[in-house]
Amino acid sequence: MAKFSLCLLLLFTVLFGHGIVELEATHHIYSRLQTPQNETKTPWDYRFQPYRTGYHFQPPWHWINDPNGPMIYKGIYHLFYQYNPKGAVWGNIVWAHSTSRDLINWFPHPPAIFPSQKSDVNGCWSGSATILPGEKPVILYTGIDPDKKQVQNIAYPKDLSDPYLKEWVKSDKNPLMAPDNVNNINASSFRDPTTAWQGPDNIWRVAIGSKINDLGFAILYKSKDFLNWVKAKRPLHAARHTGMWECVDFYPVAPNSHCGLDTSTLGPNVKHVLKISLDDTKHDYYTIGSYNYTTDKYTPDKGLIDGDAGLKYDYGKFYASKTFFDSAKSRRILWGWINESQSVADDIKKGWAGVQAIPRNIYLDGSGKQLVQWPVSELEQLRSSPPINVFDKRLEAGELHEVTGVTAAQADVEITFEITDISKAEEYRPRWTHAQWLCNTKNASVRGGLGPFGLRVLASSDSQEYTSVFFRVFKKADNKPVVLMCSDQSRSSLNEDNDKTTYGAFVDVDPIKDKLSLRSLIDHSIVESFGGSGRACITARVYPITAIEDKARLYAFNNATEAVTISTLSAWSMKKAQIS
Ligand SMILES: *[C@@H]1O[C@H](CO)[C@@H](O)[C@H](O)[C@H]1NC(C)=O
Ligand SMILES: *[C@@H]1O[C@H](CO)[C@@H](O)[C@H](O)[C@H]1NC(C)=O
Ligand SMILES: *[C@@H]1O[C@H](CO)[C@@H](O)[C@H](O)[C@H]1NC(C)=O
Ligand SMILES: *[C@@H]1O[C@H](CO)[C@@H](O)[C@H](O)[C@H]1NC(C)=O
Ligand SMILES: *[C@@H]1O[C@H](CO)[C@@H](O)[C@H](O)[C@H]1NC(C)=O
Ligand SMILES: *[C@@H]1O[C@H](CO)[C@@H](O)[C@H](O)[C@H]1NC(C)=O
């Protein structure tokens, strides 16, 4: 495809050479972890529940959190993730492991990394994979040692000829990085190594999240051989009032291109992204900036802010995310963990907690000021054909239009709205800088001039339960539009015990020049939405009581005082992915 050859061309123009690194391998053999079963229940008991997903990744039962070490090796995609083999709450953490040929259908393997050494006896926490020259994958991860200190360990495949990389061995040099008396690292705040990158000096670098008081930062370590690591004098980057940085991700992006870049790519036109998962707020934030490999400093571009006033990957539920470079298709792919919004007691009752978001292609927006995310195209194989289509339909003020003929509890919907006139839009006040607050104040049941209009999903036919994903267009004093996107969960379930926070984001699009688009991936208890062609993402968890399975309904709605036009609407029933 033309896009891929363009990606190759891009690579040649920015790529620097690699040195070869040989690993000193130690060959321990570990017996497979025996997953203890609950004596009274098996995964079988949890299969037919209304909130289990049809195409979002989740294991048959038990607790999951962060995606770990995603990569492609010999044409096989690998997903590892934090997993409790013993129950539906956090604890006993190992690296569970699944593989796929298409990022959508998955085959499970036994846990790949589990406590087996002094340096990880109390847990195997998050980390990343790096593909060393000669196609040799390695994993750096955080181990919890006998003193409950956080240390960094290495593991590598036992057999490189096995494309499924089922067995992993650990170095007896572990831990490779540890807090000690001289390096001044807080042993309780030192975790989640990034994918390593190599400079033109052939030296490897890795960043690890940390903090001192409320100063969050990414500690930098360097190594020539990937085994002996030396802490750099200064962090890669730091920011006040951000607290602990978890799951740092640091990678290059290409301007004006959807192509991804290998993590070690440097060049005059390359920009870098630094993503931090803030323990204090449980959101994933990023800046775009410049990385100077001579000083090993990362500097965000002007106007971009570290932390809670900055940009988020997803303005709903999405945490501890990680990207990898897919060398087969020259793209960068983002994985993120979506947690539950139910009580812990409900999690235990249903026997599982946590899902992974649909992997997203991630690249720099043409403006250079933000990233764009879009579900990987492989997801489209699950769409039933043909879709239910609506073209050029005027939605009158207050109109609710039902989309029939799709399995509304397991669907993929794309809708675009055409707006020609914003004279009736509400006036935007300069102090309205907080999108989530604005969505709460101007929720789906507050009528406006131009909005709310959008989708009503996982809805009961009697309008007792529904989740609204919608836009509201405002105009500034200079008549420039401001687009707000909201995901309103306040009516999502008759069960009052759930977290029903409404989420919001501003979408950097001009709805007069471009059509205003919304895509929602609806999957029983997940509503994963992409506004403005992926410029703003909001993921929600909802647990309807009546609007489940074939009782769920899908609508387009307009509750503004002005009519809007649906330019196109396509809705697909989604097939089940093969996951567990
Ligand atoms: C095992 O299942 C029983 C019965 O449902 C339940 O009471 C118990 O809490 C479960 N134990 C664990 C460790 O999940
Ligand atoms: C070290 O980290 C722990 C765990 O977050 C925290 O309680 C403690 O205050 C930290 N110490 C400093 C100096 O930041
Ligand atoms: C990186 O920093 C060095 C040392 O301060 C400086 O000489 C060099 O110009 C910088 N490189 C870039 C690309 O900014
Ligand atoms: C998980 O969900 C709860 C309740 O909805 C929320 O308060 C918490 O911050 C979430 N945790 C993470 C890591 O996203
Ligand atoms: C929506 O906002 C209105 C006005 O602020 C408020 O009275 C109402 O309770 C809100 N509705 C919901 C469902 O949150
Ligand atoms: C539409 O707005 C009216 C007036 O604010 C409100 O009473 C009604 O509940 C809204 N309808 C929907 C479907 O949200």
Mutating to test ligand 5, I would choose from 446, 447, 489, 499 the residue with most ligand atoms within 8 A of its C-beta, which is 446
Tens digits of per-residue pLDDT, 25-56?
Answer: 333 322 333 344 455 677 777 777 999 999 99
The pocket around ligand 6, CB under 6 angstroms, is made up of: 444-447, 559
Same domain as 342, residue 207: yes
If DSSP codes are grouped into helix, strand and coil, which group holds residue 553? strand
The DSSP secondary-structure symbol of 6 reads H
φ/ψ region of 534 (left if φ > 0, alpha if ψ in -120 to 50, else beta) reads left
**CATH at 510:** 2.60.120.560
CB 60 within 8 A of CB 580: yes
If DSSP codes are grouped into helix, strand and coil, which group holds residue 448? coil
pLDDT of residue 5: 54
Same domain as 484, residue 348: no
Q: Is residue 274 part of a domain?
A: yes
- CA of 444, closest atom in ligand 6: 14
Same domain as 356, residue 405: no
Same domain as 398, residue 324: no
Q: Is residue 578 part of a domain?
A: no
φ, ψ of residue 550 to 5 degrees: the values are -80, 5
Q: Which amino acid is residue 479, in one-letter code?
A: N
Question: How far does the centroid of ligand 3 lie from the alpha carbon of residue 303, in Å?
Answer: 21
Query: Binning pLDDT at 50, 70 and 90, where does residue 200 land?
Result: very high
**CATH at 51:** 2.115.10.20
What residue's CA is closest to ligand 4, atom 3? Answer: 341
Among the three residues 353, 377, 401, which one is the final residue of a domain in this structure? Answer: 377
| Helices vs strands, H then E, count in the chain | 3, 38
- d(Cα 375, Cα 465) in Å, to the nearest integer? 27
Tens digits of per-residue pLDDT, 495-531?
Answer: 999 999 999 999 999 999 999 999 999 999 999 999 9
- CA of 279, closest atom in ligand 2: 5
Domain of residue 330, residue span? 2-19+21-377
Same domain as 271, residue 294: yes
- CA of 491, closest atom in ligand 5: 13
Same domain as 401, residue 359: no
pLDDT of residue 8: 60
pTM here is 0.93
The pocket around ligand 4, CB under 6 angstroms, is made up of: 282, 317, 319, 339, 341, 499
Q: Is residue 122 part of a domain?
A: yes
pLDDT of residue 6: 62
Q: Is residue 580 part of a domain?
A: no
Active-site residue 66, yes or no?
Answer: yes
Among the three residues 357, 377, 397, which one is the final residue of a domain in this structure? Answer: 377
The pLDDT of residue 3 is above 60: no
Same domain as 345, residue 472: no
Same domain as 333, residue 396: no
Query: Binning pLDDT at 50, 70 and 90, where does residue 181 land?
Result: confident
- d(Cα 456, Cα 468) in Å, to the nearest integer? 5
Same domain as 485, residue 350: no
In sign, the C-alpha dihedral spanning 34, 38, 43, 49 is: negative
Q: Is residue 579 part of a domain?
A: no
Name the domain count of the chain.
2
The pocket around ligand 2, CB under 6 angstroms, is made up of: 186, 188-189, 211-213, 244
Same domain as 459, residue 360: no
Among the three residues 342, 358, 377, which one is the final residue of a domain in this structure? Answer: 377
